[in-house]
């Protein structure tokens, strides 16, 4: 399964507005499937930074790497699933999205990266 | 942080706060320094400005030879720290930004907030034309005054 197929699986979940594969160390987009109005470069840079800081926080607390990040905001959520080699799968979802299904698909997809 | 023109201060300060960059230098395309943050010696900033302007000129000529548009930015990745050079248009002419950053931030974050700073600089720039650069009779005293403004001594 290639990167496009992995992004396709997450994008098909109802309410998902966009999915990106991000290099967290550089904060750059590796691959993306986004609806209009979602700034992929900004999402990649900020989500990469967020996951990097949360990873350091979790490791300092002795909990290891985070397996999933859910950032809930007023008008939707940002989900992130860290994979191997500093890759992070990031999804931008609407407030009425099926978060549970998106989470399952993202964790499965992140496990197939690399 | 030191700037020769006061309207540059707010956009540059916001960029530094958001990007966690270690050093920043704004200059004209001919290498004249407009503002700087993090440099402690005037010789360093003048050398960095001259080298940065030269690198941008070289890469733009390289792009022209390759038949492509201007490069958006040049990033040198290092282990301890990295460097980004980017040229951008302003109402005061074409300027260059030189940013040095470490592993506490990322090139994506630096580019994101650099682009925001460019938008703020373009919006804040006074519309009246700045006097054209020339070697005036009092060039040396003006250079001394500029260096004092940039380094506070």
State the nearest Cα–Cα gap between A109 and chain B, in angstroms.
Answer: 23
State the nearest Cα–Cα gap between B122 and chain A, in angstroms.
Answer: 20
Q: How many CB atoms lie within 10 A of CB B80?
A: 6
> What local confidence, expressed as pLDDT, does residue A71 receive?
94
Sheet containing strand A87-93, edge to edge, reads A28-34, A16-23, A87-93, A76-82, A69-73
State the nearest Cα–Cα gap between B99 and chain A, in angstroms.
Answer: 15
Q: Which of A20, A42, A55 to mutate to test the interface with B (most CBs of B within 10 A)?
A: A42
Contact across the interface for A52 and B106, Cβ inside 8 Å: yes
Q: How many CA atoms lie within 13 A of A32 on its CB side?
A: 19
Torsional sign, CA A35, B118, A44, A74: negative
Is a pLDDT exceeding 60 seen at residue B133? Answer: no
Model confidence pLDDT, tens digit, residues B85-109:
999 999 989 999 999 999 999 999 9
Contacts (Cβ under 8 Å, ≥6 apart) of B40: none
Asked if B63 has any chain A CB less than 8 Å from its own CB, the reply is no
Model confidence pLDDT, tens digit, residues B1-56:
888 888 999 999 999 999 999 999 999 998 999 999 998 887 788 899 999 999 99
When pLDDT is averaged across residues B114-135 and rounded to a whole number, the result is 80
> What local confidence, expressed as pLDDT, does residue B41 receive?
81
Give the domain range for residue A106. 3-111
ipTM of the complex: 0.81
Contact across the interface for A46 and B109, Cβ inside 8 Å: yes
> What local confidence, expressed as pLDDT, does residue B67 receive?
86
Asked if B6 has any chain A CB less than 8 Å from its own CB, the reply is no
Supply the CATH number for residue A18's domain. Answer: 3.30.450.30
Q: Give the residue on B whose Cα is nearest the Cα of A23.
A: B108
> What local confidence, expressed as pLDDT, does residue B109 receive?
96
Could you tell me which residues of chain A have a Cβ less than 8 Å from any Cβ in chain B? 24-28, 41-42, 44-46, 48-49, 52
What domains appear along chain B, each with residue ranges and CATH number?
2-151 (3.30.450.30)
Distance (Å) of CA B101 to CA A66, B20, B75, B81? 26, 7, 11, 6
Instruction: Say how many domains are in chain A.
Output: 1
Contact across the interface for A48 and B112, Cβ inside 8 Å: no
Contact across the interface for A26 and B112, Cβ inside 8 Å: no
pLDDT above 70 as % of chain B: 86
CA distance A31 to A114: 13
Inter-helix orientation angle A3-11/A99-111, to 10°: 170
Q: Give the residue on A whose Cα is nearest the Cα of B107.
A: A26
Is a pLDDT exceeding 70 seen at residue B130? Answer: no
Asked if B105 has any chain A CB less than 8 Å from its own CB, the reply is yes
Angle, alpha carbons A46-A52-A53 (nearest 5°): 90
Using a CB-CB cut-off of 8 Å, the residues of chain A touching B109 are 27, 45-46, 48-49
Among the listed residues B5, B8, B40, B31, the one whose alpha carbon sits nearest the alpha carbon of residue B98: B31
CA distance A108 to A42: 25
- Are B48 and B38 in contact by the 8 Å Cβ rule? The answer is no
DSSP string, B59-77: HHHHHHHTT-PPPS-EEE-
Q: How many CB atoms lie within 10 A of CB A74?
A: 5
Using a CB-CB cut-off of 8 Å, the residues of chain A touching B105 are 49
Cα–chain center distance at B116: 14
pTM of the model: 0.81
**What are A52's two structure tokens?**
């990097």
* Cβ pairs A/B, distance under 8 A: 33
Model confidence pLDDT, tens digit, residues A22-79:
999 999 999 999 988 889 899 999 999 999 999 999 999 999 989 999 999 999 999 9
Cα–chain center distance at A79: 5
CA distance from start to end of chain A: 11
**What are A19's two structure tokens?**
């999915």
Model confidence pLDDT, tens digit, residues A70-101:
999 999 999 999 999 899 999 999 999 999 99
Is a pLDDT exceeding 60 seen at residue B134? Answer: no
Dump strand ranges (E) for chain A.
16-23, 28-34, 69-73, 76-82, 87-93
């Amino acid at each position: 399964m290639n990167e496009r197929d992995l992004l396709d699986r997450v994008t098909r979940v109802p309410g998902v507005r966009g999915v990106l594969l991000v290099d967290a160390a550089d904060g750059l987009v590796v691959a993306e499937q986004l609806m209009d109005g979602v700034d992929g470069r900004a999402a990649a840079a900020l989500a990469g930074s967020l996951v990097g800081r949360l990873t350091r926080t979790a490791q300092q607390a002795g909990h290891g790497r985070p397996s999933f990040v859910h950032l809930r905001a007023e008008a939707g959520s940002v989900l992130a699933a860290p994979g191997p080699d500093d890759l992070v799968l990031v999804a931008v979802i609407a407030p009425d999205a099926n978060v549970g299904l998106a989470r399952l698909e993202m964790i499965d997809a992140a496990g197939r990266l690399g | 942080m030191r700037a020769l023109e006061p309207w540059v201060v707010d956009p540059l300060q916001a960029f530094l706060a958001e990007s966690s960059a270690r050093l920043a230098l704004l200059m004209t395309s001919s290498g004249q320094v407009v503002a700087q943050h993090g440099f402690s010696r005037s010789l360093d900033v003048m050398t960095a400005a001259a080298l940065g302007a030269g690198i941008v000129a070289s890469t733009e000529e390289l792009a022209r030879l390759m038949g492509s548009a201007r490069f958006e930015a040049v990033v040198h990745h290092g282990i301890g720290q990295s460097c980004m050079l980017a040229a951008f248009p302003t109402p005061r002419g074409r300027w260059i930004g030189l940013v040095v950053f470490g592993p506490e931030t990322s090139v994506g974050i630096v580019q994101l907030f650099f682009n925001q700073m460019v938008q703020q600089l373009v919006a804040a720039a006074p519309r009246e034309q700045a006097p054209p650069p020339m070697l005036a009779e009092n060039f040396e005293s003006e250079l001394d005054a500029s260096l004092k403004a940039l380094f506070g001594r």
